[in-house]
Structure 1
Amino acid sequence: MGPGFLLERCAMFTTAWTASPQLPSEGFTPNWSREGFWRQSLRQVVRLSAGGERVRVRFSNAYGNSPVRVAAGAVSAGGVAVRLAFGGAGEGVMPARGELVSDPVQLAVAAGESVAVTLYFDSATGPATFHAQAFATSHRGAGCLLDGEGFSESSESWYFLSAVETDSGRGDGIVLFGDSITDGFGSTPGADRRWSDALASRTGRPVLNAGIGGNLLLNDSAWYGERGVRRFARDVLRLAGVDTVVVLLGLNDIGFSETDLQPTYKPAPVVSSGEVIGGYRELIRRGRACGVAVIGATLLPFGGSDHWGERARKVSHEVNEWVRCAGEFSGVVDLNRVMADPGDPDRLHPAYDFGDQLHPNDEGYGVMAEAVVRCL
């Protein structure tokens, strides 16, 4: 990371929303990532956790093998729509394996407000870098639809859109870094009830969701993203205005090898607690080198789920005890204890269980957010 990276983080713009990019795939719900877009418009609505008077938007083509042309774009909030520009032009190109950043536009937005980002692709994009599980609805339609009308199809993924930034100038952003629990699986779709949403409403600080469903700390996955230790720089440290990250990752590393019933869990090497701890130490080292406080979260109880077994029980207990007692994180939030069933601490509390004994529901995500507030 060179001087340009440091200047970016110190700039007046603050990341107000983000989604971690993924390789085009079909691991979860049906989506448009592999087919991409051609002579179509794409409208995506996201909820900001920081306000401001100006907005700029980042688009990722991290997994694209060829450039992607954006013929036109717009961002809107509160009934006001503004055309996007890229280097002063009304069109822009995402380089292969790169990103495109819009020019700042005048658009007053408030923390907690939703903005719509609309793009028109007049030429074929090829497979689209995307974020599989949005738990929000995106829309697609034929032709240039920057006025917001005429969309005929919907999807619950985000495409190319990786960040929205505002000129709030804040430097107290919190990133939640994790897997499907951080991504929001089990929360009510379209209701903004992930634990990142709950934490933003309780703290008033920018809270950014860097979760990927199925993500692993130590291994890459064709369906569930690059390993956590590899994507940490891109999805956490390069975000503007961040000073804290909460790490809740490693449960899939421990649990994927407990079942042969789900082919997308492969590869699933058996890992030791020492290997998971080594991954955490790498994140701590990188975060501190960039002046970011790294808070460790204990893994939630998952007894009875398809990730559970005697080996998973042993390793998860060892990992959680290290997080609590080693003193290597900047702080610790003991989510395992606050989310446990009092009658069986290896299981999620029934009141917080989405139904698969693995993921919280809306109430559970609120409890997690409260626990983090007490830790900050």
Structure 2
Amino acid sequence: MNKRRGYATLAALTSVVALVSGAIYIGVGAAQGRAAVRTAVPAPAVWVGTWSAAPAKAAPAVGGHAGRSVRNVVHTSIGGTAARITLSNLLGEQPLKIAQVSLAVRAGHGPAAVPGTLRRVTFRGAGAVTVAAGGHRVSDPVVLGIPYDGDLLVTVATASHGGQVTVHPQARQNSYVADGDRTQDAGAEAYTRRTGAWQHLTAVDVLTRDARGAVVAIGDSITDGVTSTSDANRRWPDVVSDRLNRRGKDHYGVLNQGISGNRLLTDGRGPSTLARFDRDVLAQAGVRTVIVAIGINDLLRGTDTGADRITGGYAELARQAHARGLRVIGATLMPCAGHRRCTPALNAVREKVNAAIRTGRIFDSVVDFDRALRDPYAPDRLRPAYDSGDHLHPSDAGYARMARTVDPARF
């Protein structure tokens, strides 16, 4: 059984309570002889993803041994009345023993928690949990007001180092490390070291009545935001979240499932997008729409990769998503001339792939990152203002331009 769906019962019970409460209210009104009035019944609370990071790499635990606490800093897209987290040992080779976990709302820009928000996280009622090699565990619900567009602290204290552990190395976010079990420390004093990777943690879901669902962006380093400013949440999915949830209605969780170096067709840095699509997209809580922004590394790092193979991979992703009732938006591949691996022959294949995407025969909708960011005087290159300097990855301004290209109405 998929443990990420293991708490559907709670959401179902919440729905029943809301519906029964509405029925009682209407029934009382009728019994008192009042005229029949249409009464709005509150929408049921459901679990929707607010943050995620794809398992990307096996690495030594921060500090190299047990008895340390990692305080992961994560940024929410939507808020809610409760949260649950997912801990992963997908890439570990032995059981991962967790001593204790806590959740809090972050205060300011360091590792301190907002007073009164620190909560102990449990797993089937227990504070300690063992995550099997290759597995994951979803926590019990934690009752806590989760803010929109805010930072959370998810602190994990390990009881054993577990050898190689599962991390997301290109976080573009500083998290913190302390000696000992400091999960219940609301203050910052014990957290004297920093790490640029998220460790163990792969998802945070919220219980909400306000969100219509989640949008999942799956891709490579461009989606991962590797050249964006650290600790600033300027990856293009972050900016999409800001645009969506600033509108005051139709809120959506926005989940970033980018892995730097990832390819559509073949394994390399992480499993291929085809191989991880079920786990990293289809299994996310409340997913309704997926944005597919992958394929440039198949050209830059692959061998004998033609346009037909890439578009065939896209078609398979769309087929899987449609089988789950999801809407699929496909992104064109952006220019890369000037990058050391980007040859004229590669660019010709890229243009064929983009032409196929633009026909509208593969995806339900298209977001044209290529046209939005290319230099009008040299269309095989990024516009200088949008180029981070390596002629492949966007600058902060480039990521913002990508986000503005995504039309919220298409969700």
Contact 2:68–2:158 under 8 Å retained in 1 = yes
Pair 1:350-2:397 in alignment: no
- Alignment correspondent of 1:362: 396
The size of the alignment, in residue pairs, is 357
Label 1:374 to 1:242 Cα distance change in 2 as closer, same or farther (>3 A).
Answer: closer
> Over alpha carbons, which structure has the higher Rg?
2
- Alignment correspondent of 2:205: 165
TM-superposed deviation, 1:126? 1.3
TM-superposed deviation, 1:269? 2.3
Structure 1 counterpart of 2:350, from 316, 319, 327? 316
- State how 1:28-177 maps to structure 2 within 5 Å: 32-33=60-61, 36-77=64-105, 78-79=114-115, 80-146=117-183, 147=185, 148=187, 149-169=189-209, 170-177=211-218
- Alignment correspondent of 2:296: 251
Moved more, 279-288 or 140-149: 140-149
Distance of 1:236 and 1:307 partners within structure 2: 29
SS, match of residue 38 in structure 1: coil
Structure 2 counterpart of 1:215, from 231, 242, 262? 262
TM-superposed deviation, 1:171? 3.8
SS, match of residue 21 in structure 1: coil
Contact 2:57–2:169 under 8 Å retained in 1 = no
Distance of 1:156 and 1:2 partners within structure 2: 29
- One-letter amino acid of the counterpart of residue 166, structure 1: V
Percent identity, aligned pairs only?
A: 38
SS, match of residue 407 in structure 2: helix
Contact 2:4–2:86 under 8 Å retained in 1 = no
List runs of 5+ in structure 1 lacking aligned partners: 26-31, 257-267
TM-superposed deviation, 1:141? 2.0
- Alignment correspondent of 2:237: 196
Moved more, 322-331 or 144-153: 144-153
TM-superposed deviation, 1:167? 0.1
Contact 1:331–1:375 under 8 Å retained in 2 = no
- Alignment correspondent of 1:338: 372
Label 1:7 to 1:233 Cα distance change in 2 as closer, same or farther (>3 A).
Answer: farther
Distance of 2:221 and 2:2 partners within structure 1: 32
Structure 1 counterpart of 2:274, from 204, 223, 229? 229
SS, match of residue 275 in structure 1: helix
Structure 1 counterpart of 2:287, from 217, 227, 242? 242
TM-superposed deviation, 1:350? 0.5
Distance of 2:395 and 2:129 partners within structure 1: 40
TM-superposed deviation, 1:121? 1.0
TM-score (norm 2): 0.83
TM-score (norm 1): 0.90
- One-letter amino acid of the counterpart of residue 116, structure 1: L
TM-superposed deviation, 1:95? 1.4
TM-superposed deviation, 1:277? 0.7
- Alignment correspondent of 2:52: 18
Contact 2:3–2:137 under 8 Å retained in 1 = no
Distance of 2:311 and 2:128 partners within structure 1: 46
Distance of 1:179 and 1:307 partners within structure 2: 16
- One-letter amino acid of the counterpart of residue 220, structure 2: D
Contact 1:217–1:229 under 8 Å retained in 2 = yes
TM-superposed deviation, 1:82? 0.4
Distance of 1:6 and 1:364 partners within structure 2: 39
- One-letter amino acid of the counterpart of residue 362, structure 1: D
Moved runs in structure 1, 4+ residues, more than 6 A?
Answer: 1-4
Q: What is the CA deviation profile of residues 248-284 of structure 1, one whole-angstrom value per residue up to 9, with x for unaligned ones?
A: 100000012xxxxxxxxxxx32211111011101100
Question: What is the Cα-based RMSD across aligned positions, in Å?
Answer: 2.1
SS, match of residue 287 in structure 1: helix
List runs of 5+ in structure 2 lacking aligned partners: 13-45, 106-113, 246-251
